[in-house]
Amino acid sequence: MNIETVKERAGPREFSPKDDLPEEYRRAATRMLQFHANSEIMGAYLERPFIRQAPSLERKMAFSAKVQDEIGHGQLLYRAAESLGIKTREEMLRELENGAGKFLNCFHYPMEHWVETPMIAFFVDGAAMRRQATLKQSSWEPYAHAMDKVCFEEGFHVKHGEDILRELMSGSRKEQRLTQEAFETWWPRILQFFGPTDDQSSHHDFAADTGLKLMTNDELRNAFLNTYMPKAEKYGLEIPDEPRIRERDDGTYEVVEDDLDWEEFFTVAKNEFEPGRGQIDAHKQAQDAVQWVRDALDAGEAIGTGGGSPQAAD
């Protein structure tokens, strides 16, 4: 199939591993999926310390279940990416470890205090879920199928995150003040979650034409702001004056892009942001620490298959 045919046929769940797809499509889909899978893993690592730091048994159990879910999402997405035939799961995991693999801007920032958790668990997950809901219509069928399961689980994450926010914002004055401060720190990063405005997004056109991407960055950010800004205000959070957000006549929002730090965003995007390097290295150390488990599994697999004799009876 050539690119023109792909663009003509592009529709929800249109292409599967049995289709002969041009390399350009397979590369673009791999890039998206690998980014998405990496982000699931790095997000899980960011939240993992809060299994220990959570203030109650219920919260510990919920965070533990959530981190487990996110790692699972990463695995699902690496499988969906692998089926494009460009990179193996091992290659993608190695790239994540050595700092070549890219992932969401928000997960480059360390998270240290409990009051920060709803910034990820409610706002970032809410933003991610908005995007993921659209990707159920991806033209790459394995991606869409992965999104069915991810979205099924993600409702718990977002509601749990909102529950923490509600709890903090109805807590002591100090809790409310610290939560507001955390919100002010994270808010610009959350606005940048959807990436640069459409005209600056380098990959958008191809991904949109081939059905890999369903909505523009602006559309997604608008949908997010429409639902999540009223929620923030409902719990008593004050939206910072900057970055400025203007309401258009049609009720949608315009974020004044110049108020956001795009230099930092692109440094983050290139994995050159110093705190983000720390996140990447911490993930690598955790991976190295359990290398012996993977080695043992590989050794077991080699024995189990009798050193590579065919498995099927035919």
Partner 1 sequence: MIWEVFRQESAGGYHTHCGNVHAPDREMALLFAEVQHGRRKPTNSLWVVPKDEIGEVDTEDAAFGGTTDKSYRFARTYNVEPAAEEVEESEKELTEAERERARREA
Q: Which of 1, 88, 90, 152 binds partner 1 (CB under 8 A)?
A: 152
Tokens at 30, concatenated: 């791999």
For position 12 contacting partner 1 by CB under 8 A, the verdict is yes
Residue with tokens 């958790």, as numbered in its chain? 117
At 290, the amino acid letter reads V
Minimum CB distance to partner 1 smaller for 106 or for 164: 164
What mask, x for binding partner 1 by CB under 8 A, covers residues 120 to 149?
--x---x--xx-xx-------x--xx----
Q: Establish if 228 lies at the interface with partner 1 (CB under 8 A).
A: yes
How far apart are alpha carbons 194 and 200 in whole angstroms?
A: 12
We find the least distance from the C-beta atom of residue 23 to partner 1, in angstroms, to be: 23
Q: Which of 249, 279, 245 is nearest to 259 (CA)?
A: 245
Is residue 31 within 8 Å of 96, Cβ to Cβ?
A: no
Is the separation of the CB atoms in 73 and 135 below 8 Å? no
Q: Give yes or no for residue 45 binding partner 1 (CB under 8 A).
A: no
Minimum Å gap between C-beta 158 and partner 1 is 5
The distance of closest approach from Cβ of residue 292 to partner 1 in the complex, given in angstroms and rounded to an integer, is: 25
32: tokens are 């998206």
CB atoms under 10 Å from CB of 4, counted, come to 9
Residue 156 as a binder of partner 1 (CB under 8 A): the answer is yes
Strands annotated E in 130-273: 245-247, 253-255
Q: Give yes or no for residue 40 binding partner 1 (CB under 8 A).
A: no
- Vertex 213 angle, CA 197 and 226, to 5°: 55
Residue 219 interacts with partner 1 (CB under 8 A): yes or no: no
* Distance, first Cα to last Cα, the chain: 31
Distance CA 9, CA 27 (A): 18
Cβ closest to partner 1, residue 116 vs residue 154: 154
Minimum distance of partner 1 from residue 221's CB (angstroms): 13
The backbone torsions φ and ψ at residue 29, rounded to the nearest 5 degrees and listed phi first, read: -65, -40
* Position among 6, 158, 182, 255 found at the interface with partner 1 (CB under 8 A): 158
Q: How far is the CB of 107 from partner 1 (least distance, A)?
A: 21
* Kind of pairing between the strands at 253-255 and 245-247: antiparallel
Stretch that binds partner 1, among 63-71, 105-113, 242-250, 255-263 (CB under 8 A): 63-71
User: Cβ–Cβ contacts within 10 Å for residue 106, how many?
Assistant: 24
Look at residues 119, 92, 108, 79 and name the one whose alpha carbon lies nearest to residue 38. Answer: 92
Question: Which of residues 62, 84, 190, 191 is near partner 1 by CB under 8 A?
Answer: 62
Binding segment toward partner 1, per CB under 8 A, in 39-47, 161-169, 205-213, 250-258: 161-169
Instruction: Using the minimum distance from each CB to partner 1, give the nearer residue, 101 or 142.
Output: 142
Q: Does 151 bind partner 1 (CB under 8 A)?
A: yes
Residue 254 binds to partner 1 (criterion: CB under 8 A):
no
CB 260 within 8 A of CB 243: yes
Minimum CB distance to partner 1, residue 134 (Å): 9
**Residues lying near partner 1 in the complex (CB under 8 A):** 12-14, 58, 61-62, 65-66, 69, 122, 126, 129-130, 132-133, 141, 144-145, 151-156, 158-160, 162-163, 166, 223, 227-228, 231, 311-314
